[in-house]
Amino acid sequence: MTDLAQPQAPRSTGAGIRPVSFGDLRQALSEGWQDFRAAPQFGLLFGSIYVAGGLLILLCALVLEMGYLVYPLAAGFAMIGPLVAVGPYEVSRRREIREPLSWRSIFRAITTQGGQQLGCMAFVTLFLFIIWMYQVRLLLALFLGLKPIASLDRFITVVLTTQDGLMFLAVGHVVGAVLSLVAFSLTVVSLPLLVDRDVDCVTAMITSVQAVIANPRTMLAWGLIVAALLAIAMLPLFLGLLVVLPVLGHATWHLYRKVVAPA
């Protein structure tokens, strides 16, 4: 008698974590650059999406006379980078297994491979960005008062020349560093893992945190490299992100391959 209630195959419940070295970081960056050079059209598209989003957010802040939010917005916007880098992850994955590259195949893979799980990670990432902005407004109220400083020049003057401004800057950077570490730990491995395997977002985030805990020095160094490159790329009106974002996306894929053991 045929059993009509066939059990579904269970989703993967984890992934083995391997040690990585500083040499692996250099190799990942080199491989990321090679992937970008091999298919620059894909990287430039996803980089332009990220640049357009950043410019739009900053333009809104200036139009609404919230110039004091330009710097924290630019800093917090880096948290959204791993989401946009899902495209370069898929490009690197397909090049690795020698599958053909096309716009249709890339976008179809992004929408089908991770499914709802990528949407879940998008929610987590955007939630962290919202928390980032709320803590900025809270610290502004605590140290600089409730009256907004519309001019960016005036805000810079207040922050750099007054005791309250310097305290705001110091505490803000400490709190921001903690939030950035949380966001980095949750996303550095989880998003490539969701592109690569059939796992849920909770498993992916746990695996990502485990990778950071197992390789604290190396992964912290990677986080600092990513932060420094993104900061430099943002200086010329975000335009440097056209190249830096996809290269870092490709490199993160290769780092993921090194730190997470094959299924």
Q: Which two tokens stand for residue 88?
A: 């370069």
- Quote the pLDDT of residue 148: 61
Taking the CA atoms of residue 253, residue 213, residue 200 and residue 188 in that order, the dihedral angle to the nearest 10 degrees is: -30
Question: Side-chain half-sphere of 24: how many Cα atoms within 13 Å?
Answer: 19
- The SS3 assignment for 250 reads helix
Does residue 126 surpass a pLDDT of 50?
A: yes
Q: How many CB atoms lie within 10 A of CB 239?
A: 15
Cβ-count burial 61-73 (b if 16+ within 10 Å, e if not): beeeebbbbbbbb
Q: What confidence tens digit (pLDDT) does each residue in 188-238 have?
A: 999 999 988 888 899 999 999 999 999 999 999 999 999 999 889 888 778
pTM (2 d.p.): 0.84
Task: Taking each helix axis as running N to C, give the angle between helix 163-187 and helix 116-144, from 0 to 180 degrees, rounded to the nearest 10.
Answer: 170
Q: How many CB atoms lie within 10 A of CB 102?
A: 11
Q: What confidence tens digit (pLDDT) does each residue in 56-95 have?
A: 888 887 777 777 777 788 778 888 888 888 999 999 999 9
Q: How far is CA 163 from CA 65, 154, 167, 174, in A?
A: 24, 15, 6, 17
Q: What confidence tens digit (pLDDT) does each residue in 101-125 have?
A: 888 888 887 777 656 788 888 888 8
